[in-house]
Each structure stands twice: as structure tokens, then as C-alpha cells.
Amino acid sequence: MSGLTPWRLRHARPSPPALRFTPALLALTLTACSSDDPTSSCAGDSDCKSGALCQSGTCLAATALACVDTDTSRTPAISVQPTTLEFGDVGTTQVTRSVEVRNVGACTLRIGSWVLEARAESRFRCLTCESVTPPVEVPPGRAWVVELAALPGAPGNFVDTLTLRSSDPTHEYTTVALSMRSLGEPELLASPELLDFGFVSGGSASSRTLTLLNNGGVALEVTRVRLEGSDASDFDLPSLALPTTLQSARLDPSAKLEIAIGYSPVVTGAHSAQLSVEARDLPTLTVPLSSHSEPPEVDVATQSVDFGRVRVGREALRSFAVQNTGRTALALGVALLASASRDLSASPVEATVAPGSFTEIRLRYAPTTAGGASGELVITTNDPDERELRVALTGVGEAPPPGDEVVTLDLTFRTDSNSLLDTDLRDVDLLLDSPLGRVCSESERSPDWGPEGQPRWTGSSAAGSERIVLAGATQDGEYTISAQYIEDCSSLPTQLAARLLGIGSHELTEYFSDGDVTLDANRVAGVVSSLCVNRSAGSGTLDVRINGALNTFPLSLPAKGSTDSVRLIRADGRFRVTR
């Protein structure tokens, strides 16, 4: 120690032992420092490894947050915001909104199912629901965002309900009310859907008219119309002022665009092309055009028809066949010349006969006066060799027995509009009421009234006309002849009405059939009124013949629902007619 200074003695310290790492200690040290530790600290779920969640600043395995049936102190709790979702006005594109489904409980919430109550007919879609498979698990303190869309379509107010089924023990079912107002969208339609020019020989010309109609709820703009296809040069398209706006036919029944398309083949043959119609923000509408290389061949079974002698007030029926022996469709038009007796009628007024087939032309002779009746039936065809055929019709009306009187009522009706909807939907009925209140009409065509007579309703080959013949009356009394401008909706366009209501045509049919479908009666009445009632004014003429003596009465039918009537009085065995 003689070599050491006192300072060094005071501060001398023994050397520390060397630090030695055993494998176990090394493993413990590395594990404690690993960022994959599920119990490591975190600020959010992204700080934790896969399968772990950040809970109260610590990463925990997701399975640790699962609910346990035996632990009633830890349950899930669902909170949905908002519970009422208003999409506002929806135009031609879908509108999206979102709902937050949050778990405010203490363990994982399971969403087991979700459904829109209107299902396939819903005007809403759950976009998020379509991309996931139930169940969806929502851990505590977290939310599942559900995106929904309101779809464009027919105009009107639409509602639906989204129902969620969850594992919340106190709220198994949670609902979200959805609502929107659809402004409608345009829908471009072509009538007919295809144009068949049939057979047209080379060097000849033919024309067909195509009508474009906007069946949607808002206006559309037609921007371009063109011919396409290998044979487009054989077809002709007139010059059109484009672009042009086409209003909704629901709002303006006269809104339409008519296009006369010509076909002028250089050589005879089967040609095809297509008419493409472009409208802004809508898919291109394509209308096929076609012709045939081989002509039809018309064969009429007779050149004349004689009804023989028929008592006034009765009728005789005849028919004959028209056959197509050619190799392409035969188009027929059937009409009586204007000079023909009105007691003669024929149907149908037009027909298409397939190759190798035939159609039957039905004829009726119902004399209203004694004496001879005649007329010519003109049959027009697309047979290049026989464009027109004529069939002579003859008959003789026999006077009724002395004391018998036959009353013939003829109604001719017309509207102030010839729009597509007015033409398709108008319906005027001719009715005859007996003194005891029994009715003869289109729906009750041949009732037997006993001593009040045996009336018979018949249609007519003339558009907008009806006829009733009353014979056999032996009892005095006052009858009422009336014309009713109505629409009984026997021809209600179901698809159009269903679109306006925002439902399927099947559901609308079920509703009218007293099925299980429930609809707002006021909305249904409004649509039916729009389609069936709110149409153009009309007028008509009623011709009343008593044993051939004519009395004519003008009829005023200002709106659908209107009725105009005339009194038919039988007194002392004689009929007279008066207002």
C-alpha cells in the first residue's frame, strides 16, 4: 500500500461483474420490446397488429372483446344515426346518403341481417349491404357506415324502411325510415318497336311512320337520328330539326316526334338496316328496319256475298277467308266504301296473315229499314300483283209485321285531340235503359227484357261508333238513351300506371283484384284520373231511326265523366224520341 495515495484509497471501487445474456433473458428482452405485442400501447386500431384492436390505449386481441353468454354485465348496444333519412329531390341520377350503426355497448355487436321492406320493388338500394355477407361485427366504440341510394325513376313520393337485426338484447330490430321525392326521368320509346316494310320490288318505294314518345316524367332532348347498317342506302330519312325537346307524354299527351321512313330498293331483295336515335344522357334507341325478297300472294275465296232477306231489327252474319299463299307476310286493310249502306259492317279492319295461313273476314247485315242494301268491301294488300280486291255485298231488309216497331240507335263520337294517349284511352259508351232500369250496353250486349223488347248492342267498323237495335217491344214506357264519356280502365296501360305509382305491374294488378297489396288509395285515384279521366273534350251525334225514320241529336261531352241523354218514349204502341 505504500505506493497508493490516500485519495485513491477513498474512491477505489470494486469492478462490477460482467453482464451475461442467457438465451431465456435474451428472448424475454426481445419480446418485451416487440411492436407486435397485442397488449402494447396504441392510439388507434391502426397501431395494432392484425386481429387486435386498440381498447383504452392498449392493443387487445379482437376475440377478447367478444360477448360471453354467461357474462351479463358485458352486452352490446346498438345506436343508429339518423333513424330518418330524407334523400330530397331525385332527378335522373341516384342520390346517396349514409347511416352510422354504432356499438355503444361493452362487447362486440353482431348485425345478422338487413332488409328493405319493399324488396324488389323498392326505389332505394343498400349499396354497402350488397358488398358484404352477414353477420357484420362491430366492436365496442366503433361504427359500421351503411351507404344507401335513392334511385331515379317514375315521378312521385316514395318511402321504404331499412330494418337491421342485431345482437343487442334490448333492441333486436332497429329501423331507418327512408323517403324521397322522385322528379322522374325521361324514357324514350319507339312505336312500333321495329319497322317491317314487307315485300317491295326493286325500283318501287314504300314508307312507314315511326313515332318517338317520351314515356318518362321529365322532358328529354333528341340530339341525333341516323340510319346504320349494310343496307342503309336503301332506306330514306327525312331532314329533321335537331336537337329537339320531347316533353313527357304523361304531362302533354300530344308530345311526340313522327318520322316518315322511306324504303326505295334499287333491286328486289331482303334488306336490313337500323335507325339509331340518340337522346342526351340516355342510351341510344335502336329500331330495326327490314324487308323481304319474296312477295305475298293473296287469295280471296269469293267475289260477292248475298245476305238474302233479313227482317228489320234482326241481323245476318256471313264470313269468307283470305289466304296468303306467298312466302312473306300479307298485310290486309278492310273497309267498306263510303257509299255502302250503314247497315253493313265488316271486321277486322286490318290484319297480317303469315305465309301459308289465312284470316276470316266477318260480315254483318242488320237492316234498319225495309228495302235493298248494297255496298262494296275493299281489301287492300301488299301483294304486288293484287293491290286491291273488291267484294260486292247485297241484302234485302224486310219490313217488320204490322204494329212492330224497330228502333236503331247509332252513336258517332270524336275527341278534340288525336294524341297517342287520347286515342288509346278514350272510351265512350252507348247505353239504353229500359223503363224498369235494365241496361243494354257493350258489357250487356243482348239482354232479354221481355215485353220491353230485345235490344242488341253491336260495334261498328267505323272508329268511335256504336249501335243498339231495339225490337220486340210490346209494353209502353220511357227509355233513356245515353252516351257516357268514360274510361272504365279496361284498357288502362298497366305498366305506365305502375311506373307512375312507383310499383310493379304485378302489384298494381293485385291491388285492383283486391289482393294483398296495400297502396295509398288517393295516389291510385290520382294516377287513374290522369290516365283515364283528364283527357280532351269530345262531342258526338246520335241518330235514332224508328222503322227507318231518322231523328238526329248532337251530343256534348266536354270531359271524361260527362253524360248526355235522349228520351225514347213508347206510348199507345208507337215510339217517339225527344230531349
HSE at residue 325, side-chain half, CA atoms within 13 A, is: 9
User: What one-character-per-residue DSSP string does 388-422 give?
Assistant: EEEEEEEEEEEPPPTT---EEEEEEEEES---HHH
> How many helices (H) and strands (E) would you count in the chain?
6, 39
User: Do 272 and 231 form a contact (C-beta atoms < 8 A)?
Assistant: yes
φ, ψ dihedrals at 131, nearest 5°: -105, 0
In the chain, where the domains are located:
78-182, 188-292, 298-398, 407-487+535-578
Fold designation for 298-398 = Immunoglobulin-like (2.60.40)
Query: How large is the average pLDDT for residues 512-538?
Result: 59
Lowest mean pLDDT among 382-396, 438-452, 485-499, 538-552: 485-499
User: Do 178 and 132 form a contact (C-beta atoms < 8 A)?
Assistant: no
pLDDT tens-digit profile of 371-428? 999 999 999 998 989 999 999 999 999 988 887 899 999 888 765 544 434 443 446 7
Equal CATH topology for 298-398 and 407-487+535-578? no
Separation of alpha carbons 540 and 555, rounded Å: 5
Separation of alpha carbons 574 and 579, rounded Å: 17
* CATH number for the domain whose boundaries are 407-487+535-578: 2.60.60
* Closest of 551, 560, 547, 559 to residue 579, by C-alpha: 551
Eight-state DSSP code of residue 548: T
For the chain, the residue count is 579
* Closest of 178, 269, 282 to residue 223, by C-alpha: 282
What class has domain 188-292?
mainly beta
The structural architecture, per CATH, of the domain 78-182 is Sandwich (2.60)
Predicted TM-score (pTM) of the model is 0.51
Instruction: Give residues with Cβ within 8 angstroms of 427, minimum separation 6.
Output: 486, 487, 488, 490, 491
Count the Cβ atoms, other than its own, within 10 Å of residue 41.
Answer: 11
Residue 201: exposed, middle, or buried by beta-carbon count in 10 A (0-12, 13-18, 19+)? Answer: middle
Instruction: Give residues with Cβ within 8 angstroms of 357, minimum separation 6.
Output: 323, 324
User: What one-character-per-residue DSSP string does 132-173 give?
Assistant: --SPEEE-TT-EEEEEEEEPP-SSEEEEEEEEEEES-SS-SE
Q: How far is CA 28 from CA 17, 19, 37, 49, 567, in A?
A: 21, 16, 12, 20, 113
Query: How large is the average pLDDT for residues 497-503?
Result: 56
β-strand 109-116 against 156-166: which pairing, if any?
antiparallel
Q: Is the pLDDT of residue 255 over 70?
A: yes
Residue 75: exposed, middle, or buried by beta-carbon count in 10 A (0-12, 13-18, 19+)? Answer: middle
Q: Is the pLDDT of residue 501 over 80?
A: no
Task: Give pLDDT, residue 29.
Answer: 37
With bands split at pLDDT 50, 70 and 90, how would you rate the model's confidence at 7? very low
With bands split at pLDDT 50, 70 and 90, how would you rate the model's confidence at 528? low
pLDDT tens-digit profile of 421-452? 444 344 678 999 999 999 999 889 999 999 99
